[in-house]
Amino acid sequence: MLSTRKTVVFDEGIVLTTGERIAPVTVAYETFGTLNKRKDNAILIVHALTGDSHCAGYYGAADAKPGWWDPLIGPGKAFDTRKYFIICSNDLGGCQGTTGPSSINPATGARYNLSFPVITIRDIVNVQKKLLDHLGIERLLSISGGSMGGMNVLDWAVAYPERVSSVIPVSTCGRLSPQGIAFSEVQRQAIIRDPKWHGGNYDPDDPPADGLAVARMIGHITYLSSESMHLKFGRRKRKAAEPEAKFDEKFEIESYLQYQGSRFVERFDANSYLYLTKAMDFYDIGEGCETFEEGAARMQCKALFIAFRSDWLFTPRETGELVDALRKAGRDVEFHEIESAYGHDAFLVEYPKYAYLLERFLERVHRFYNR
Amino acid sequence: MLSTRKTVVFDEGIVLTTGERIAPVTVAYETFGTLNKRKDNAILIVHALTGDSHCAGYYGAADAKPGWWDPLIGPGKAFDTRKYFIICSNDLGGCQGTTGPSSINPATGARYNLSFPVITIRDIVNVQKKLLDHLGIERLLSISGGSMGGMNVLDWAVAYPERVSSVIPVSTCGRLSPQGIAFSEVQRQAIIRDPKWHGGNYDPDDPPADGLAVARMIGHITYLSSESMHLKFGRRKRKAAEPEAKFDEKFEIESYLQYQGSRFVERFDANSYLYLTKAMDFYDIGEGCETFEEGAARMQCKALFIAFRSDWLFTPRETGELVDALRKAGRDVEFHEIESAYGHDAFLVEYPKYAYLLERFLERVHRFYNR
């Protein structure tokens, strides 16, 4: 399946939850399948922290890899593009086509950097809403995404219940645990304490690459699990290509993390990492309500929750906390905790274990709204 | 109880397992209680990664805090100084009185830094053995320590069974998990990638403080548990004293980690951190044997193992793996997995939950050898 990244510019921009305005706002997005005449077959896919609009397909024959959720999206797949119209955009605050701290501020002609306003998950949702308005989509059949994308999915259902028929939040929760916040914070500290960060005003050609690489390495530990590291790397050692700090032997897990760290630096903006992790940490479905349960109960649509047993960043227990609150409020909620050793990464790996659940759920929702 | 740090210099130094020699070797140590005439009441206490010889007591009235295992060591305590003679020294490779990379190399008149040879747990043990020879102690009634100190305890029992009557390894295991290695590695990377590290040749007055602080923050996440962070910090927020990277609100867990990071930099040497974490990562009780079990079975003395349920850095499961191997080999082993929310830190917190076990075990060992 081929894909093309499209771009739309909203000159009027967006007013944030803080009252500040960002204008213009550019949104990068991709679509798959066809919007039907009744415009009731649209599904929004939302990416995780460092993802982008390229959720499926190939840009061209030269691509080594397809989009990040390709095994789920396409003709005959769970998000069946013969039936559904799939939309995925890059988040506000990101760095892959949508306006973010690395964009040029038209008022100054320079990059926003830290003059970019603080954003929340709700602001990211509101930009997606603008895109849907632009595409003429009044109501979504479903919204799905994993991790921080899953928080985004939840917030859609809370903020705009009249526009959402169902949600499929994957590997996510209603509020990040203190341990999750702690991991976000050391990742931010690794970036901020890199002297090349220069208070956010780094040279784009000489960014705080070491800080960002260390942040990514920490991130990767939280995406795997102790179990998957045992299975994949164990305590296997290899000679280091060049001795590092005089230690000439290293463990395979060390090489893996270093490789992930260096690759990430080529594609991600350090300031975006700060803004987006903050948005994730501050997200709380109970915000502004008396209790977490009350906040959760504002979600009214049908929901399919997926969590993976060895995920210790967004644990099944935390997903379950949310599911319990929804069931107590009488909502139509399916919840599957899936056996997997892959930790948080499972939602990007264990497709055969959950694709059929998505397919079945979407058919049920589709039938329900087309009775 | 008052304590004084003593120092002994071994001019001939030590030949390492790699064949290299470090000379001289200075060892900082403290002792508590009195060695009896039969010299059979000596107990060696071994510190964890960033600990020191000051395991108990106060240096003077001005001290805010006593030594790191003070609730366990003293008159009437588990390691009863009315009965036992307690010795604790700073590890080879450390930076608190014993020779390490921040020591002056007499051959050059400059700090060793990365010219300091790579060391192993066995080398650390051998320096402790030199200290015991110096003190005229032929045989230890027991050795105890937690975390990396516990690995040191295990290695004593394997290397010098004729000199050890019993061991009490706490919160430890026979080999670090791949996840543990991964955490060590990102901590090292945070240090090495700090430009002030300068290939190890940093200015002692301007060390890689940011890298070391980030390393310590990562370390602290692994010492706590998700549960203890929920209990201690939750998602409570506070205004930041000064906005950091423009985010003027922060979570309490963030302040806690930052505080721990900055305090650590005042007392610890960055190169020591690299050498000691490498020694910990490479330690494997099965090294040189066909199997892990065969390696473990070389331990012959009585043993009391303590592990804490929420410890996810040195898990009770990994302690159990070692205990199983010892029991299969017919060894006299006690193992207690203790309920606690404190994670790896539990061995420095949950004294009432395990002090009595140490006391009872030591009495049993003492009686056995004095029948």
Closest CA–CA distance from residue A135 to any residue of chain B (Å): 34
Q: Which pLDDT score is estimated for A245? A: 77
Is A143 among the domain residues? yes
Catalytic (active site) residue A311: yes
| Mean pLDDT of the region A189-199 | 97
Rounded Cα–Cα distance for residues A25 and A9 (Å) = 6
Same domain, B134 and B248: no
- Joined together, the tokens standing for residue A299 give 């979600």
Q: Which pLDDT score is estimated for B240? A: 76
Give the residue from B16, B206, B226 with the most A CB atoms within 10 Å of its CB, the best one to mutate.
Answer: B226
Q: Which pLDDT score is estimated for B247? A: 84
pTM, entire model: 0.97
User: Which chain A positions have a beta carbon within 8 Å of B246's beta carbon?
Assistant: 114, 118, 200
Is B1 among the domain residues? no
Taking an 8 Å cut-off on Cβ atoms, the answer to whether B229 and A178 are in contact is yes
Give the residue from A246, A257, A317 with the most B CB atoms within 10 Å of its CB, the best one to mutate.
Answer: A246
Same domain, A77 and A107: yes
B14-55 pLDDT per residue, tens:
999 999 999 999 999 999 999 999 999 999 999 999 999 999
| Helical packing angle, B148-159 and B121-134, nearest 10° | 70
Q: Which pLDDT score is estimated for A248? A: 78
Same domain, B118 and B16: yes
The answer to whether the complex's ipTM is over 0.90 is: yes
Is B259 among the domain residues? yes
Same domain, A30 and A130: yes
Name the residue facing B235 among A175, A211, A214 (closest C-beta): A175
Which sequence positions of B are flagged as catalytic? 147, 311, 344
Dihedral, CA of residue B257, residue B260, residue B263 and residue B267, to nearest 10: -130
User: Which chain A positions have a beta carbon within 8 Å of B284's beta carbon?
Assistant: 235
Same domain, A78 and A100: yes
Dihedral, CA of residue B163, residue B24, residue B150 and residue B158, to nearest 10: -40
Evaluate if residue B220 carries a pLDDT over 90.
Answer: yes
Taking an 8 Å cut-off on Cβ atoms, the answer to whether A251 and B210 are in contact is no
Q: Are B18 and B118 in contact (CB under 8 A)?
A: yes
Taking an 8 Å cut-off on Cβ atoms, the answer to whether B274 and A175 are in contact is no
Dihedral, CA of residue B289, residue B293, residue B294 and residue B295, to nearest 10: 60
| Mean pLDDT of the region B93-111 | 97
Same domain, A94 and A171: yes
Is A269 among the domain residues? yes
Q: Are B284 and B174 in contact (CB under 8 A)?
A: yes
Domain count of the fold of chain A:
2
Is A1 among the domain residues? no
Q: What is the CATH number of the domain that holds B343?
A: 3.40.50.1820
Q: How many CA atoms lie within 13 A of A235 on its CB side?
A: 15
Is B90 among the domain residues? yes
Same domain, A250 and A288: no
User: Which chain A positions have a beta carbon within 8 Å of B210's beta carbon?
Assistant: 193-194
Taking an 8 Å cut-off on Cβ atoms, the answer to whether A221 and B245 are in contact is no
Closest CA–CA distance from residue A91 to any residue of chain B (Å): 19
User: Which chain A positions have a beta carbon within 8 Å of B18's beta carbon?
Assistant: none
Taking an 8 Å cut-off on Cβ atoms, the answer to whether A192 and B312 are in contact is no
Taking an 8 Å cut-off on Cβ atoms, the answer to whether A185 and B253 are in contact is yes
Rounded Cα–Cα distance for residues B157 and B300 (Å) = 7
Evaluate if residue B243 carries a pLDDT over 80.
Answer: no
Cα distances (angstroms) measured from residue A323 to each of A167, A286, A303, A318, B332:
13, 14, 9, 9, 48
A55-96 pLDDT per residue, tens:
999 999 999 999 999 999 999 999 999 999 999 999 999 999
Same domain, B230 and B167: no
Residue of B nearest to A230 (CA): B178
Q: Which pLDDT score is estimated for A243? A: 73
Cβ-count burial of A347 within 10 angstroms (0-12 exposed, 13-18 middle, 19+ buried)?
buried
Name the residue facing A230 among B178, B200, B254 (closest C-beta): B178
Taking an 8 Å cut-off on Cβ atoms, the answer to whether B226 and A118 are in contact is no
Taking an 8 Å cut-off on Cβ atoms, the answer to whether A118 and B190 are in contact is no
| Mean pLDDT of the region A225-253 | 89
User: Which chain B positions have a beta carbon within 8 Å of A17's beta carbon?
Assistant: none
Is B350 among the domain residues? yes
Same domain, B238 and B124: no
Q: What is the CATH number of the domain that holds B259?
A: 1.10.1740.110
Same domain, A300 and A161: yes
Same domain, B116 and B226: no
Name the residue facing A226 among B179, B192, B210 (closest C-beta): B179
Name the residue facing B234 among A178, A182, A254 (closest C-beta): A178
User: Which chain B positions have a beta carbon within 8 Å of A291's beta carbon?
Assistant: none
Rounded Cα–Cα distance for residues A292 and A321 (Å) = 9
B289-322 pLDDT per residue, tens:
999 999 999 999 999 999 999 999 999 999 999 9
Q: Which pLDDT score is estimated for B140? A: 98
| Alpha-carbon dihedral sign for residues B356, B358, B363, B365 | positive
Rounded Cα–Cα distance for residues B298 and A279 (Å) = 53
User: Which chain B positions have a beta carbon within 8 Å of A185's beta carbon?
Assistant: 217, 250-251, 253-254, 257-258
Same domain, A187 and A288: no
Q: Which domain holds residue B122?
A: 6-176+283-369
- Peptide bond before B195: cis, by omega within 30 degrees of 0? no
Q: Are B184 and B277 in contact (CB under 8 A)?
A: yes
Taking an 8 Å cut-off on Cβ atoms, the answer to whether A192 and B244 are in contact is yes
Indicate the residue among B276, B297, B312 that finishes a domain: B276
Indicate the residue among B223, B252, B276 that finishes a domain: B276
Is A348 among the domain residues? yes
Sorting pLDDT into bands at 50, 70 and 90, what band is A239?
A: confident
Evaluate if residue A240 carries a pLDDT over 80.
Answer: no
Indicate the residue among B219, B241, B276 that finishes a domain: B276
Residue of B nearest to A194 (CA): B194
Taking an 8 Å cut-off on Cβ atoms, the answer to whether A178 and B233 are in contact is yes
Instruction: Tell me which amino acid residue A257 is.
Output: L
